[in-house]
Amino acid sequence: MYLIVDIGNTRAKVIVVDGRSIVYDMAVEQLSRASVADVVDKYQDISHAIVSTTRGNGEEVKALLQELVESVLLFTPATTPVPIANAYHTPQTLGADRLAAAVGAWAMFPDSDIMVVDFGTAITIDYVVGGTYLGGNISPGVTTRFRALADYTACLPLCEPTDELLEYGRTTREAIEQGVMRGVEHEIRGYVEAFSKENGKKRIIFTGGDAKYFVKRIKNTIFADCEPIIMGLTAILEYNAKRY
């Protein structure tokens, strides 16, 4: 069994993986030793752990886990070996979540060329072609766009994601909701269409908290929730466990 600690921009996930199956999944705003110790006590077959973070406190979390688990790996894209080639020019600035999602998508579909779209605080679009991570693009996420309109204008209200699909917004709230949602939809649809033209054997994976709104709008996509990142961290942990 493996312990996966994935610390994102807004919350931390503590996940136990048995083989390729997630058997435990907990999300917290702030990670504590007590909460992790409870998980380790419950799943005493945990032999290895991996830490991935976008907040910069990875060494502290690694030290915490080393008190509880025999072997702990801190995943950093610049230094941690991964089972795919990495063509990114500045791995020291590459988000761990982006590379982990790319590895996870490749582990799920090793014979395909892959585009991973992660709908989080930022929207990231990343590519794995021929078993090589090529990089990708970053733009503001859905909630970030709503907040920007509310924060940087005098009169516009703060709105939230919606499933409603309207041709025209007939109130200011509807106009903001449709403007953001349809703007993201058309943005991602453009990426999907371009990738589809260039790659015949393709997989397009949507993940992240807001992915559910767009998998319904854009055809020929796979909604994988958090699986690419978790499967990627698992694959990276297994790859490094075999190396040493």
- The torsion region of residue 46 among left (phi > 0), alpha (psi -120 to 50) and beta comes to beta
DSSP annotation of 186 reads H
Distance, in Å, from the CA atom of 178 to the CA atom of 182, rounded to the nearest integer, reads 6
Options 6, 97, 126, 210, the catalytic residue:
97
Q: Are 114 and 127 in contact (CB under 8 A)?
A: yes
3-class DSSP state of 120: coil
Sign of CA dihedral 22, 28, 29, 33: negative
3-state DSSP call for residue 93?
Answer: helix
Is 37 exposed, middle or buried, given 0-12, 13-18 or 19+ CB atoms closer than 10 A? middle
* Contact in structure between 221 and 192 (CB atoms under 8 Å): yes
Per the annotation, the verdict on 118 as an active-site residue is no
Q: Which residues of 141-167 are buried (b: 16+ CB within 10 A; e: fewer)?
A: bbbebbeeeeeeeeebeebebbeeeee
Enumerate the active-site residues. 97
